[in-house]
Amino acid sequence: MTGPLILASQSFSRRAMLDAAGVSYDACPAHVDEDAVKQALLREGQPARAVADALAELKALKISLADPTALVIGSDSVVSVDGRLFDKPVSRANAAEHLRAFSGKTMLLTSAVVLAEGGQPVWRHVGEARLDVWPLSESFIDAYLDAEWPAIAGCVGCFRIEGPGVQLFSALHGDYFTILGMPLLPLLGQLRQMGHMPA
């Protein structure tokens, strides 16, 4: 192992995953214009996988260029329903709109992780999960947001799966860590190979 390991994010769920796994790292938010990049990619007709991957790479490269000696983890997640990509809710009313759109549908959650070193991407992985959403009544949505807003303001799918957000779903298909926001197991395997974790 040469330089430090940096997570290009202050995401609570991503930090919690790395902490629980016993990974030693520093967290440094990348402060990139995610919305502008996302909109440009969507105008090009790029699918959800490409959007998540590009945003993860953007975050990793920004920190890697500032500290070329570090190995930098960039990660991002996007949510789509019926081909429509959803942004993080900007208000409680916006979150309610999203939940109405999710009601009774299958949510596709795509999480990407990219490792960058010396200002270049050196590894990447994209995971997908499908989450079946219960039909949600207006009374449920109101009670849910009473309990979870504004804690879910930074959550693209308006939920924390490790909290009351699990009530939204009738079934989950895919890797739990991908649903949390980062494909952890492939990342840990790569960190072992690169000497950033004991093998």
3-class DSSP state of 187: helix
3-class DSSP state of 82: coil
CB–CB of 54/121 below 8 Å?
Answer: no
Q: 70 burial class (0-12, 13-18, 19+ CB within 10 angstroms)?
A: buried
CB–CB of 39/78 below 8 Å?
Answer: no
List 67, 76, 82, 142, catalytic entry: 76
**Is 67 known to be catalytic?**
no
Place of tokens 């004991």: 198
Number of residues that this document lists for the chain: 199
Q: What is the CB-side half-sphere exposure of residue 147 using CA atoms within 13 A?
A: 13
Q: Provide the annotated active-site residues.
A: 76
